[in-house]
């Protein structure tokens, strides 16, 4: 019973953490905000690569995939909760991928 509660709590904590991470804007680093290379700072120079869209969501997807892999290789089934957590992780990954697809439209 304790392990079930622990597993459910861990899955909920992961989902809340990823949802919070994906919804909060990244803080800017003011010390490095103006530290552009001289070549990129010149007008008309297009050597700078554009920023990746939504890096937090992409990081969350990668973290969920790693968590899923750990759960798939777990030594115990935890009374079926491991399988349920893997399904929930798949749903979360799918939802985040849909978020990225929706943004491209």
Domain ranges of the chain: 1-24+56-105
Residue whose token pair is 């991470």: 21
pLDDT band at 49 (very low <50, low <70, confident <90, very high): low
Chain segment 23-48, per-residue pLDDT in tens: 655 555 444 444 444 544 455 555 55
Residues 6+ apart with CB under 8 A from 77: 83
| pLDDT at residue 21 in the model | 62
Instruction: Note the pLDDT of residue 87.
Output: 94
Residues in contact with 79: Cβ distance below 8 Å, sequence separation at least 6, in sequence order: 3, 4
Give me the phi and psi of 7, to 5 degrees please: -65, -45
Confidence (pTM): 0.51
The answer to whether residue 71 scores a pLDDT higher than 80 is yes
């Amino acid at each position: 019973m304790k392990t079930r509660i622990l597993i459910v709590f861990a899955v909920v904590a992961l989902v809340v953490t990823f949802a919070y991470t994906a919804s909060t804007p990244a803080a800017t680093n003011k010390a490095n905000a103006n530290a552009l290379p001289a070549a990129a700072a010149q007008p008309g120079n297009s050597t700078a690569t554009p920023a990746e869209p939504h890096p937090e969501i992409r990081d969350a997807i990668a973290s969920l995939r790693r968590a899923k892999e750990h759960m798939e290789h777990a030594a115990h089934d935890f009374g079926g909760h491991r399988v349920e957590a893997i399904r929930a992780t798949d749903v979360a990954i799918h939802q985040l991928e849909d978020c990225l697809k929706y943004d491209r439209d």
